[in-house]
Structure 1
């Protein structure tokens, strides 16, 4: 048996698979996000440890045979977070999360240094790790002086499991400290941001062994003493492993809290000027590119909360086949935007509200606005030479067929819905555990069974294209008015 752990922003998922990669047991534990100030987003890393213990207890109680026969464990985790620990391995402060925007000034300062785009292959975004440490040095100097190691979120769980400071290439690629082409820490970038290479964890591939399970943890939960802990990777890279997106031309679109359009790459071809992310994959000698928009299902959550309803009830207002674009347009920049604007300050907006505008109109506008923003990501990817004809569709937003029809038509891409789409990153982590235990990469990272394919509505495509062109013109106007 193999265990995949997916450390999400709001909860930890666990998935056990058998030797054939088939899911056999699951568990889940939740935790909260703290927002003590505007644009701040933090979590206590020890809450992740508690959550991991909770899912271990659930699996031990509900699936004892499968749990006690685990041979290897691997992890997926949300990217860019800064977990800073002292010489004793204790967190100095709460983790600064990926969607924390406090270090905008520091990110802009680093991004002006041409070495960062040239070496890391990416713009330095405010959500990345390096500017967070620069912010700490400026605003929390006493805490900064005690930084022994900087870990990515999942790597704090790796440390708990193994007593080793280890990270993988895909997670390190989102720190702004990695030479993404060479797959190595860059002393140039570390020095430029006031850090040292000895403050970084050991760097290995996501499918390699990070260590052996801590004997005290094994004893506490009734596990074997020789369980391999495999490094794992960043959530999107590991989700790509879960859906079999490992080769050129394969990719997925994710309608989660944020929206992602990802394409696997067999080579390293950065284009930071497009605000496309170019990162190492979780497997050796592969990379991936992705466009990211920051508020996908989160936009629908916001609207539902504003209307005192639930996202599920709100989505029911948009049912049946699509009939054409809404008269209302929504700009989904509730948390700023990454691709293609790299703008932490931009805000969202509704355009075209009338006295007869309904909740259904607003819901449709939100779904279309998110889809238009993902089209922006697709256009940025195309500008780097990426070609996609079909992508897998994953994430909570895929429960809405109306949204999927809208998205497929706006992107001009066929969407493939996995038969079992709930375990993307957790399944990817379990697959990396299998590979770390000796399984072949190519035969393990296979695409899932497809339950359904959704094609663009060719009769309405020109209308949605015209709406998208109007959407593109709105960003500079909103920016000027902000």
Structure 2
């Protein structure tokens, strides 16, 4: 049997990753990555990137991933992408300005205005708030807009020449009727009737290709002609596939630049408070999700402040006498404002300090606990809204590699934690989707039949720590509300 490969491309905030998946053995063959960053700025709340960075990263990472492999074996690929980002194209499909990213909070005022119009709480991450901001603050650029795309759509357009949007990613625009799985034209019209022409059509099916790689792009990438391009999706929907979350209630926590929790659901969970995002998934079902803006970056602050590496800081945190709950020290981790709760103007705060508390180990643990408690507060809202989670949490992202943080998550949530063997779950999910489309199998069935492997380790919650984390969560929520108001 001849070899066939599916490529998974994940366009992230801080870098781009590519995995090569063998369709015959159902294993990863190779992977590669390219690092980049948000454009540096002194403007508060601004977070932007040049879309060309994603294209250059795709070219470089695919070349590295396929080095030494038979490129003629590549048959399909799919793209996962950071969600919400606003990419605007003008005449001749020229990029008019840098993309405003999910973590850009300049549109906070527009988010408040649209929340009142739409009757549900939008956070500044949603694409439509950024588009209204553009209309207000850069009217000449807005007038020149001819197409609106999301980051993964832009890469798909470059690959295939086709402008189209997939439901899971489109859920983050703020103008998708999630239950009806169609554009909410009334919401579009509330901003500008022209938006009906600017947003592309929606993908018909998550199980069908959207096209093939254009010949000139195939030549640039060194790929054979006719490589299928699957729809792709937002990074969270792709991460769910890569973590094997194919059954109802399967729950994933991602500890990355942002912190996210999402779970597969047969029905949409609609939350007018905006804490829970009622997203579609990449299989034709739903993926209720919540996202925090401050996760691994909080630990980076400690690393940079003390000039110590993460392993040393972890050892110090494990040895620190403060233990679970950090002896009453609370780190509210809102360094760049916060999305969940919607506090775009919030800031980070260290509370409960006593003499001798500024120890690197204690602060490192407090950073982990602060990011974790922020997610836990949101998770309890998801359960209250009707989510029925499974018994285990699948933990992914860069933070999932830290042994102490994994145990903190298990203890704070009171649930077993399992670890997908492949940490780059979004890229793997994209490859699985591409393989399913190539094989003519539904994405859900393919992931169920070829479930990604888990590491043998299962972290069980320590019952002795439960009360400490219950008190820590109550303290965390009360202090956050005192400083920044009720969500």
Question: Per the shorter chain, which TM-score range?
Answer: over 0.9
Q: Which position in structure 2 is the counterpart of 1:299?
A: 298
C-alpha displacement at 1:88, in angstroms? 1.1
Instruction: Give the conservation status (yes or no) of the 8 Å contact 1:151–1:167.
Output: yes
Q: Which position in structure 2 is the counterpart of 1:45?
A: 51
Q: Which position in structure 2 is the counterpart of 1:226?
A: 226
Deviations 1:358-403 (A, max 9, x none): 1111111111111111110111111111122211011111222211
5 Å-filtered alignment, 1:233-382, equals 233-273=233-273, 275-284=275-284, 286-319=285-318, 323-327=323-327, 328-339=329-340, 341-357=341-357, 358-382=359-383
1-side partners of 2:208 and 2:233: how far apart? 11
C-alpha displacement at 1:441, in angstroms? 2.9
2-side partners of 1:44 and 1:221: how far apart? 20
The 1:225–1:368 alpha-carbon spacing in structure 2 relative to 1, beyond 3 Å, is: same
Q: Does 1:114 align with 2:99?
A: no
Q: Does 1:55 align with 2:57?
A: no
C-alpha displacement at 1:324, in angstroms? 3.0
2-side partners of 1:175 and 1:167: how far apart? 10
The 1:10–1:206 alpha-carbon spacing in structure 2 relative to 1, beyond 3 Å, is: farther
2-side partners of 1:198 and 1:108: how far apart? 25
Between 162-171 and 461-470, report the one with greater CA deviation.
Answer: 461-470
2-side partners of 1:102 and 1:313: how far apart? 37
1:458 to 463, 472, 486: 463
5 Å-filtered alignment, 1:406-421, equals 406-418=408-420, 420-421=421-422
TM-score by length of 2: 0.93
Q: Which position in structure 1 is the counterpart of 2:28?
A: 23
Between 231-240 and 391-400, report the one with greater CA deviation.
Answer: 391-400
Q: Which position in structure 2 is the counterpart of 1:434?
A: 435
Deviations 1:297-318 (A, max 9, x none): 1111122222333444423322
| Helix, strand or coil at the partner of 1:174 | helix
| Helix, strand or coil at the partner of 1:330 | strand
C-alpha displacement at 1:21, in angstroms? 2.8
| Helix, strand or coil at the partner of 2:346 | coil
Q: Which position in structure 2 is the counterpart of 1:211?
A: 211
Aligned length: 470
Unmatched segments (≥5 aa) in structure 2: none
C-alpha displacement at 1:343, in angstroms? 1.3
Deviations 1:328-347 (A, max 9, x none): 111111122223x2111111
| Helix, strand or coil at the partner of 1:145 | helix
Q: Which position in structure 2 is the counterpart of 1:120?
A: none
Between 360-369 and 28-37, report the one with greater CA deviation.
Answer: 28-37
2-side partners of 1:88 and 1:313: how far apart? 52
C-alpha displacement at 1:320, in angstroms? 6.4
Q: Which position in structure 1 is the counterpart of 2:163?
A: 165
The 1:480–1:218 alpha-carbon spacing in structure 2 relative to 1, beyond 3 Å, is: closer
The 1:127–1:309 alpha-carbon spacing in structure 2 relative to 1, beyond 3 Å, is: same
| Helix, strand or coil at the partner of 1:16 | strand
Instruction: Give the conservation status (yes or no) of the 8 Å contact 1:25–1:63.
Output: no
1-side partners of 2:455 and 2:82: how far apart? 26
Instruction: Give the conservation status (yes or no) of the 8 Å contact 1:278–1:288.
Output: yes
C-alpha displacement at 1:246, in angstroms? 2.7
2-side partners of 1:414 and 1:385: how far apart? 21
Instruction: Give the conservation status (yes or no) of the 8 Å contact 1:246–1:265.
Output: no
Instruction: Give the conservation status (yes or no) of the 8 Å contact 1:279–1:289.
Output: yes
The 1:213–1:35 alpha-carbon spacing in structure 2 relative to 1, beyond 3 Å, is: same
Instruction: Give the conservation status (yes or no) of the 8 Å contact 2:376–2:413.
Output: yes
Unmatched segments (≥5 aa) in structure 1: 118-122
Instruction: Give the conservation status (yes or no) of the 8 Å contact 2:268–2:288.
Output: no
| Helix, strand or coil at the partner of 2:477 | helix
| Helix, strand or coil at the partner of 1:453 | strand
1-side partners of 2:274 and 2:150: how far apart? 25
TM-score by length of 1: 0.94
Instruction: Give the conservation status (yes or no) of the 8 Å contact 2:206–2:443.
Output: no
Instruction: Give the conservation status (yes or no) of the 8 Å contact 2:124–2:339.
Output: no
2-side partners of 1:427 and 1:235: how far apart? 11
C-alpha displacement at 1:447, in angstroms? 4.7
The RMSD of aligned alpha carbons is 1.8
C-alpha displacement at 1:222, in angstroms? 3.0
Q: Which position in structure 2 is the counterpart of 1:128?
A: 126
1-side partners of 2:484 and 2:424: how far apart? 38
